[in-house]
């Protein structure tokens, strides 16, 4: 099973024999700890462990249990990420229930989505690919269209040592994008997602997602700027995907409308797509 590093508290996959972050060996102790022989076995298990797709998370002070579905939720969240039940009335790990503000009202939801994007970018910049995958899996149900597109773009272009964790996160994102979020995409999200797919080192088996992006691009084609047009056409050509004639005609008509805004790179990518 997965284990918690005693030195830095990172969650490590069970098959790993040392912490990926600080390299403390599995079964070791934190620096400065003195554990008598045999004492480890007598220690009580960590309080309130829960699992998110095989990742064990230790409950911390302020975390609370959803009164509707019994899911353990981080203290900073005002509603259950699984069933959306508000924090009010649920049980906190410090014995209290505390006040709450419905994240779906008063602009709270928008704040959560902005913070999620910041979290994704910070973890990505840290180079910790395993934690990035864990963050995506854990918060997947909280993502809006922009969060999902951002997470997918980052994972497609990032090298993660644990290929299994990366594939699991990408597969989950592809399913959620296709079924829930592509319908809310604007021109930028459509173009950027297709462009990232085309640039990925591994060819993703996601024909359904590509088709969904193509259909959505046809709906929002009037919002495409030159870079979106160039990236979309370049991506289709690179992926070997022939888009519907209606989309090609629509993008070309839009290109004529904004032709004065094309830069040399946009022109080159667009012409290459038709070569």
DSSP 131-172: HHHHHHHHHGGG--HHHHHHHHHHHHHS--S-HHHHHHHHHH
For residues 220 and 51, give the distance between their C-alpha atoms in angstroms, rounded to a whole number.
39
- H or E stretch including 36? none
Which two tokens mark 107? Answer: 């602009």
Residue 209 CA: distances (Å) to CA of 14, 40, 176 = 32, 48, 10
The yes-or-no verdict on residue 32 having pLDDT over 70 is no
What pLDDT shows up at residue 201?
Answer: 75
How many residues does this entry show for the chain? 275
Query: Within 13 Å of residue 258, how many CA atoms lie on the same side as its CB?
Result: 20
Looking at the DSSP bridge assignments, the partners of residue 247 are: none
- pTM beyond 0.75, yes or no: no
The confidence band for 263, taking pLDDT boundaries of 50, 70 and 90, is very high
Non-local CB neighbours of 125 within 8 Å, separated by 6+ positions: none
Query: Within 13 Å of residue 115, how many CA atoms lie on the same side as its CB?
Result: 11
The confidence band for 70, taking pLDDT boundaries of 50, 70 and 90, is low
- Higher-pLDDT residue of 171, 44: 171
For residues 19 and 26, give the distance between their C-alpha atoms in angstroms, rounded to a whole number.
7
The yes-or-no verdict on residue 96 having pLDDT over 70 is no
The confidence band for 22, taking pLDDT boundaries of 50, 70 and 90, is confident
What pLDDT shows up at residue 162?
Answer: 84
For residues 16 and 10, give the distance between their C-alpha atoms in angstroms, rounded to a whole number.
12
- H or E stretch including 166? helix 163-176
pLDDT tens track for 173-222: 999 999 999 999 999 999 999 999 999 877 788 899 999 999 999 999 99
């Amino acid at each position: 099973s997965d284990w918690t590093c005693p030195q830095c508290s990172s969650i490590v996959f069970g098959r790993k024999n040392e912490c990926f972050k600080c390299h403390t060996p599995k079964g070791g102790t934190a620096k400065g700890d003195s554990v008598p022989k045999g004492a480890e076995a007598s220690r009580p298990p960590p309080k309130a462990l829960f699992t998110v797709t095989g990742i064990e998370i230790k409950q911390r002070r302020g975390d609370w249990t959803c009164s509707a579905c019994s899911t353990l939720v981080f203290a900073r969240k005002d509603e259950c990420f699984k069933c959306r039940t508000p924090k009010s009335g649920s049980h906190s790990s410090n014995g209290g229930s505390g006040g709450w503000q419905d994240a779906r009202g008063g602009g709270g939801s928008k704040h959560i989505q902005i913070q999620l994007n910041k979290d994704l970018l910070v973890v990505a910049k840290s180079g910790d690919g395993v934690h990035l995958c864990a963050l995506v899996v854990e918060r997947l149900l909280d993502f809006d269209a922009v969060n999902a597109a951002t997470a997918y773009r980052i994972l497609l272009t990032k090298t993660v040592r644990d290929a299994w964790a990366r594939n699991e996160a990408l597969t989950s994102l592809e399913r959620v994008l296709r079924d829930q979020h592509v319908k809310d995409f604007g021109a930028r999200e459509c173009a950027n997602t297709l462009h990232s797919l085309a640039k990925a080192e591994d060819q993703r088996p996601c024909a359904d997602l590509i088709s969904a992006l193509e259909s959505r691009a046809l709906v929002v084609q009037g919002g495409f700027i030159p870079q979106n047009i160039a990236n979309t056409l370049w991506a289709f050509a690179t992926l070997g995907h022939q888009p519907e004639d209606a989309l090609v005609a629509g993008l070309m008509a839009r290109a004529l409308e904004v032709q004065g805004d094309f830069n040399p790179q946009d022109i080159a990518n667009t012409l290459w797509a038709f070569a």
